[in-house]
Chains A and B, each alone.
Chain A
Amino acid sequence: MENLIALLVAAPLLGAAVLLCGGRALDRVGHLLGTLLAAGSFVIAVVLFSDMLGKSPEDRTFSQHLFSWIPVEGFQADVAFQLDQLSMTFVLLISGVGTLIHIYSIGYMEHDERRRRFFGYLNLFLAAMLLLVLADNYLLLYVGWEGVGLASYLLIGFWQHKPSAATAAKKAFLVNRVGDMGLSIAIMLMFTTFGTFAFGPVLDSVGDTSEGKLTAIGLMLLLAACGKSAQVPLQSWLGDAMEGPTPVSALIHAATMVTAGVYLIVRSGAIFNAAPDAQLVVTIVGAVTLLFGAIVGCAKDDIKKALAGSTMSQIGYMVLAAGLGPIGYVFAIMHLVTHGFFKAGLFLGAGSVMHGMNDEVDMRKYGALRKYMPVTFVTFGLGYLAIIGFPGLSGFFSKDKIIEAAFAKGGTEGWILGSVALLGAAITAFYMTRVMIMTFFGEKRWQPDAEGHEPHPHESPSSMTIPMIVLAVGSVFAGGFFSIGDRFLNWLEPVTGHDHGHAPISAGVVTGATMVCLVIGVGIAWLQYGRREIPVVAPRGSLLTRAARRDLLQDDFNHVVLVRGGEHLTRSLVYVDHTLVDGVVNGTAASVGGLSGRLRKLQNGYVRSYAVSMFGGAAVIVAATLLMRAV
């Protein structure tokens, strides 16, 4: 049974290889093949899952050793897989949501002539993501980590003929590379400290080294997580990444890849547990991003960018929870899974709306779509209720637990983190209600485009609606299913451990406060957007709104400091290389040339002047000889 693990990765990898190398001959069946292999991966995952359920919680770790990858003196890197409850959760999420989005893409990308390649890239992504969560050592994880980065690069820039898409793809890869630098330094630190970077040996011997080393490793891992999961200060790429096709935004930039950072932190829990300083930084990053993403999400008029802000904010919740240590690990993953359902659903809904609206993304040009797209409206609505934490739906259970855990951290920290999380819940309710109202309610605001085509909103084909419905069902019931009887907690506890903390206020009070925040958020949004006419052209807005529209000036900062500064640096270095480094050498050559030019003048061609110099020379020699004799 354990030998099936490699197949999980191999199936989509095969798909990617066949689809990308196959050529035009596969154009007609490529999308079906890609979907089939993704589904195959999901089926294997389910088989493994049922097998795992049949074993006692202690024996649920499967492993498979494929081959020794880089055997060098004192250095051992293997291609080996480890499948425990944590990986299993991810594998099911990735292959499940992945398959749904493959199905959705069949309809969404129907008119794209490069659909086969799109499915090749999607399969490549699945393979890399599965490798990431299945690896049994950090170096193999790094392979998956960069692999998903590559797939994300290719998919964001899928419409390469648009310069904006190509730029966004490059930006995503570069920002991620900064994070990857952190991961590679972390691996190097582990190697010098422990002599290995396999999960088991490293995490087991955490107690044998100093806290300072562990803090350094933890912070480097956090840097990596910030890059991949779009956390402050490496969050700037996620908004631009919305240039990619919408199914990509749903799968990679909402449900799976961006949560890899959370996986990394939870997986390395033992390191963080032993390094409280690193943990503190993790919670701070989570809390800041939580607010940052939420504020940005409030100001965006582009539906996908508003959702991207929301993704950032929700991952902020997960990172915050992961930073709380054993109190929060389980809830971070639980929120990650429920978020995977409802955010993927929301993005697919957004994609469905765009599909019907000639790819218009500006919410100010939507309105009243609930009449035209009933299925989209209902599924999007359920996702909306789930994300704001409407009682009984998925988000309610998972987010509530995180807020409780934040308070349970104890001390001043606990109060601050808990309040931030509560505030975040209110803002989440606000911006999601705004999106909902601007898109589906009110009067229709769309206009003919430049060529005079009036959009004709229509419901999407069933290949698109079925995945949306499935995800909506998940958004509604997953949270409850996980929470009742602490199913999810019991499932993950053997891997991540769990600690109840000591909550200063009871769970009931927290839930009550959350509900109050929710009502306030929804209420304000309704007052502002539901009761008033929404202008088609965005008003100027307050200073904060304008800053939030520009991602709180992060890009401007990057542009001035990094892009401009970098340009100046490289230009001046090119100059230095040409004039200084090369100049020294060319200068030497020129001075030798000049000297010989002078010496050449002595050769005037007159025999007599040569004769004079000969006589002169002879006279000097004779004189010198005589002088020597005399002395």
Chain B
Amino acid sequence: MSFVETTRPPSAEATKIADFKPSLLQTEEHHLCPGCGESVAIRLVLEVIEELGLAQKNVCVIGHGCYGSFVQIMDVDCTLCLHGRAPAVSTGIKRMRPEVAVWTLQGDGDMTSEGLAEILHATARGEDITCILVNNGVFGDTGGQMTASTVVGQRTKNTLDGRDPDYHGYPIVIGDMVASMQGSAYVARGSVHNAASIAKTKRLIRTGFERQLERQGLSLVEILTMCPTGWFVPTADGADYLMESLGKTYPLGVIKDITKQAEPAD
């Protein structure tokens, strides 16, 4: 069986249609585990920021999680804050510098377990910020423990027989909570489990930033990501497992858009 030479650009006349990385990443190398979906989600956000012309006027407020390692390689202004406090910190930044786009990058452990009050109060105040939630249902950074958004039946480091609602309670669906509050302008949920969903998710992120620039209120884009290391599944099965577990509790689609009637989830 013959393979194509892929160590160098082609010798026949060809145009490059996709680069390794977005131009707002300084290097392709990062420390995330094999099969992790967070780097794909971050790539989408950086591509949207570049397309909207916000490369020189945006501030990223990062919570605590694996994505924190991207602070070192993202070519945007970043600040790290305490666990779950990203919406509160970005409130201050946005009020002092209303001309810049302020976005938070948080995981589900950071937003729903540690900082639930911050996101809800930021929404209630109607702050013009964009919150990106990368939701994988576990504390990936500490090794895969249960978070508030772990779905019923999901196996984690401290729910080895699956999350039992009688003992551990039910997951917090943060997207629906934020959508029910008056201060939110746009709430949507995307996924990075296949190429089609990745393209859809990029449009959701773009709309989220547009609502912020229109001063409509808080926008929350939840992105379901794979964490095969924390889930104890082979990396190749991560995408299917994501849709079988989290995908059933968190249906994809636009949950709320203040500029139009709510669309049914697709």
User: Is B one of A's binding partners?
Assistant: no
List chain B positions with a Cβ less than 8 A from chain A. Answer: none
List chain A positions with a Cβ less than 8 A from chain B. Answer: none
